[in-house]
Amino acid sequence: MSSIPHDLVVGGVPHGEHAHHPKGIMRWITTTNHKDIGTMYLWFSFTMFLVGGVMALTIRSELFQPGLQIVNPEFFNSMTTLHGLIMIFGALMPGAVGFANWLIPMQIGAPDMAFARMNNWSFWLLPPAAFMLLLSLFVPGGASSGGWTMYPPLTIQQGMGMDLTIFAIHIMGASSIMGSINIITTILNLRAPGMTLMKLPLFCWAWLITAYLLIAVMPVLAGAVTMLLTDRHFGTSFFNAAGGGDPVLFQHVFWFFGHPEVYIIILPAFGIISEIIPTFSRKPLFGYASMVYALAAIAILSFLVWAHHMFTTGMPSASILFYMYATMLIAVPTGVKVFNWLATMWKGSITLEAPMLFALGFLFLFVIGGFTGLILAIQPIDVQFQDTYYVVAHFHYVMVAGTLFAFFGGTYYWLPKWTGHMYNEKLADWHFWLSFVFFNVAFFPMHFLGLAGMPRRVPDYAQQFTDWNMVSTIGAFGFGLSQLVFLTAVVKCIRGGAPAPAKPWDGATTLEWTLPSPAPYHSFETPPTVK
Amino acid sequence: MANDPQRDARLRAANRRTGLVLLAIALLFFFGIIASRFIESEAVSIAVVGGAILLYLVVAIGRHLRK
C-alpha cells in the first residue's frame, strides 16, 4: 500500500501555529526548520537553474551559426563545463533535496529531520560552493574547461579555476553526504507509529534509495578529485601519465560515480511522478511493491554499467559485452515503472491539472530519453555516436524532460500545501505547453545533428549542420523564456490566490494532506498513528 | 503524546548511531578509493572497491525490502 487513507490516521493534527522563530534574514540563516530549509533549497536550485540556463543560452547563441561570433573557444568550453556542473550539482541535486526536506517529514509523520542543525549546515555549504564555481570564471586562466567530467590530463594542466572547481565539488559533496545521512536517519528512525517501510509513500522510498546511493558515490567522486588535486600540486601521479599514472583510470573512477549519479538525479523524480499519477488518476498506485523492487534494482544495477561511458577507450570484448548487456538490463526495472504508471492511469478518472500534465510530459519524453539510451548501450553504435550531439540529446531528454519536468509537476502539486494558495491553472498550463514544445524544438534536432556526426563541446561546426542548430537555438531561447512563466506562476501563488483547502486534490492520500494549508511551521509534534 | 524524556533520549541515541554508521561508511569509501590506487593491478583495485560498494548497497537496501 503506497498511501494512508485519512480515516486510518489517528492524531497528528498540529497544535496550532508555534512559529516562534527569528524574523528577517536571521530566520533563514539560523533556521533548523525543515520547511524553511526546503524552501531555501528550492530557491537556490531555481537560481542555479537560471544561472546554468544563461550559460546554456550563451552556448546556443554561439552555435546559432557556424564560425566564431560571440565567445572565444576557451570561454565556450568553460561555459559547457560550468553549465554541466551547475545544472547537476547546483540545480538538480539541491532541487531534489528541497523536495525531500519539505515532504519527507510530513509524509512520514515526523516533526522535522533527524539532525535539524546539520540540515541547516548542509544547505549553507551550497552558496559558497556555487560562488566558488562562478568565481573561477574571473581567476587567471579562466574557469575549468575540460568538461564536467574533468578528465586528466587536461585538468591537471589547467589554472586556478580547476582548483576552485575541485574545492566546490568537495563542499557540494560534503553537503550531499550530510543531507543523505539526515534523510536516511529520518526515514528509518522517525516514522509515525504504524508506518512500516512497505507503507512508505513512494517518494520517501525513492529518496531512501537515492540517499544510500549518494553515500556510496559522493565519497568516490571526492576521492577522485582529491587525487586530481594532489596530482596538480603535490607531485603525485595517480592520473598523470608523465609520472607513470593512468588517465583512463580517472575515467573509470569518475564514471563509477557518474553513472549512479544519473539515477541519483532521476530516482527522486520517479518518486514525485509516483505521487502525482495516482492522485490525478484517482486510483492507488499499481504494483506498489514492484515499484519499490524496481527502484532497488535500478540502484544496484547502476553500479554495474559505468564503463558504457568509455566504450571508445578500448577494453576487452568480454567487458564490452558485459557492460552492454548490463546497461540493457536496466531497461527492465525502468520498464516495470513505466508500465505501472500506465497501469495506474488505465481506467482512472484522469484530470489534466498542471502536475498531471508535467507527469505525462515526463512519461512521454523520459521514455524517448530511455530508448536513445538503449541505442547508445549498443557498443558498435555507441562508437559512432560517442561525443556527438546524439548523446547531448539523450541526456537532456533524461535530465531536463525527466527530472526537471518532474520537479515542475511536483512544485505545482505541492504549492497549495506550501503556500496556502492555489496556483493559477492557466499560467501553469501555459508553462507546461511552452516548455513541452520548446524543449522538443531545442533538443529533438540534436538527434539529427548527432546522427550526422556533429561533435559536442566544439564552438564551431561545418556548414551542413547550420539549419538544425538554428532551430535548436530558437527552441533553447523559447524554453528559457518559458521559465519566466513558471516564476510568475510561483510568485503569484506565494503572494495570493484562492485559498487552498487541506487537501486540494481528490485523489491525494499521503499524510501531508492531513495538515492544513499552508502547512503549519511545526507539524506532527504529536506523531500520527498509521493503522 | 506527552513528552517522554527517556523515549526522546533513546531516539536521539538511535539517530546518532545511524548517522555515525553512515558517516563511517562514507569515510571508508573516500579513503578506500584512494587506498585502492596503491594496489598494483587496476582490475583488482576496481573489483575491490566495486565489490565493497555493491555489498553495501545490497545489504543496506535489501534489509529494508524484507520489512
Residue A513, in any domain of the structure:
no
Say whether B37 and A227 touch across the interface (CB within 8 A).
Answer: yes
Closest-CA distance of chain B to residue A423, Å: 35
| Mean pLDDT calculated for residue range A293-314 | 93
**Distance, first Cα to last Cα, chain B:** 26
Residue A29, in any domain of the structure:
yes
- Which CATH number fits the domain that encloses residue A359? 1.20.210.10
Q: Which amino acid would we find at residue A173?
A: G
Q: Where is pLDDT greater, at A505 or B38?
A: A505
> CB contact, 8 Å: A222 with chain B?
yes
Q: Are A5 and A509 in contact (CB under 8 A)?
A: yes
Q: By percentage, how much of chain A surpasses pLDDT 70?
A: 96
> CB contact, 8 Å: B11 with chain A?
yes
Closest-CA distance of chain A to residue B5, Å: 15
Q: Please report which confidence band the pLDDT of residue B41 belongs to, taking 50, 70 and 90 as the band edges.
A: confident
ipTM passes above 0.85: yes
| Mean pLDDT calculated for residue range A55-78 | 95
Residue A320, in any domain of the structure:
yes
Task: Give the model's pLDDT for residue A10.
Answer: 39
Burial of A339 (0-12, 13-18, 19+ CB in 10 A): middle
Q: How far is CA A84 from CA A59, A155, A400, A436, A468, in A?
A: 12, 16, 12, 21, 22
Q: Which of residues 80-139 of A touch B (CB under 8 A)?
A: 114-115
| Cis check: omega of the bond before A260, within 30 degrees of 0 | no
Task: Give the model's pLDDT for residue A397.
Answer: 97
Q: By percentage, how much of chain A surpasses pLDDT 90?
A: 88
3-state secondary structure of A529: strand
**A–B CB contacts, 8 A cutoff, strictly below:** 100
Q: Return the residue of A nearest to B50 by Cα.
A: A303
What are the pLDDT digits (tens) for A79-109? 999 999 999 999 999 999 999 999 999 999 9
| Mean pLDDT calculated for residue range A184-202 | 94
Name the phi and psi angles at B7, rounded to 5: -65, -40
- To which H or E segment does residue A344 belong? helix A331-345
What are the pLDDT digits (tens) for A341-399? 999 999 999 999 999 999 999 999 999 999 999 999 999 999 999 999 999 999 999 99
Enter the pTM of the model: 0.93
Q: Give the domain extent around A162.
A: 6-508+521-530
3-state secondary structure of A10: strand
Which residue's C-alpha cell is 515526463?
A362
Q: Are A222 and A214 in contact (CB under 8 A)?
A: no
Mean pLDDT, chain B, integer: 86
**Nearest residue to A138 via CA among A187, A180, A75:** A75
Using an 8 Å CB-CB cutoff, list chain B residues near A219.
26-30, 33
Q: Please report which confidence band the pLDDT of residue B2 belongs to, taking 50, 70 and 90 as the band edges.
A: low
> CB contact, 8 Å: B66 with chain A?
no
Q: Please report which confidence band the pLDDT of residue A333 belongs to, taking 50, 70 and 90 as the band edges.
A: very high
Which of A220, A227, A267 has the most B C-beta neighbours within 10 Å, making it the best mutation to test the interface with B? Answer: A220
Counted domains in chain A: 1
Q: Are A273 and A401 in contact (CB under 8 A)?
A: no
Say whether A114 and B15 touch across the interface (CB within 8 A).
Answer: yes
> Is A4's pLDDT higher than 70?
no
